[in-house]
Amino acid sequence: MRIKTIDIDRIVGAILLVISIALFLINRTYPEYSQGYTGLLLILLGLCSLDLMICKQNHKIENMKLKNSRVFILLIAFTLYIILIIVIGYFPASIVFMCGLLILFGLRDWKKILITNVFFIVLVYFLFIFFLRLKLPIGIIFEG
């Protein structure tokens, strides 16, 4: 028996709603100064999951297969990105990750990929390291 796409949306919406309620209740146990932003995000997650459960979506099977494969590839890419950050550090992992994502989403011009990477790395460097004076992970390989 095949589960309809709308039924899957309702199931996923219900699961996300339960998760957002549980995390919201956990969030209420934290100090008051740290509840605001995370509480707002959890409320938004709950509202989006309610929308997913209530509203009917028009899905086409061909588009669903393409989107599902991209979502699966993104999950694998994010997992590898986290592992690469630990191993080779934030900046090299970010360059590899961004190149992969830009190619995945159809950008084939190497000049644009290079410009995007340089802009992103410079922006992150100045924002986090220069202005905020935070240390980003340098990786196991480069730790001396």
* Model confidence at 58: pLDDT above 70: no
pLDDT for res 95: 94
pLDDT band at 3 (very low <50, low <70, confident <90, very high): low
4-13, 56-65, 103-112, 118-127: range with lowest mean pLDDT: 56-65
pLDDT for res 65: 58
Mean pLDDT of 77-103: 92
Give the DSSP per-residue string, the chain: -PPPHHHHHHHHHHHHHHHHHHHHHHHTTS-GGGTHHHHHHHHHHHHHHHHHHHS-----HHHHHHHHHHHHHHHHHHHHHHHHHHHH-HHHHHHHHHHHHHHHTT---HHHHHHHHHHHHHHHIIIIIIIS-PPPP--TTT--
Quote the pTM value: 0.55
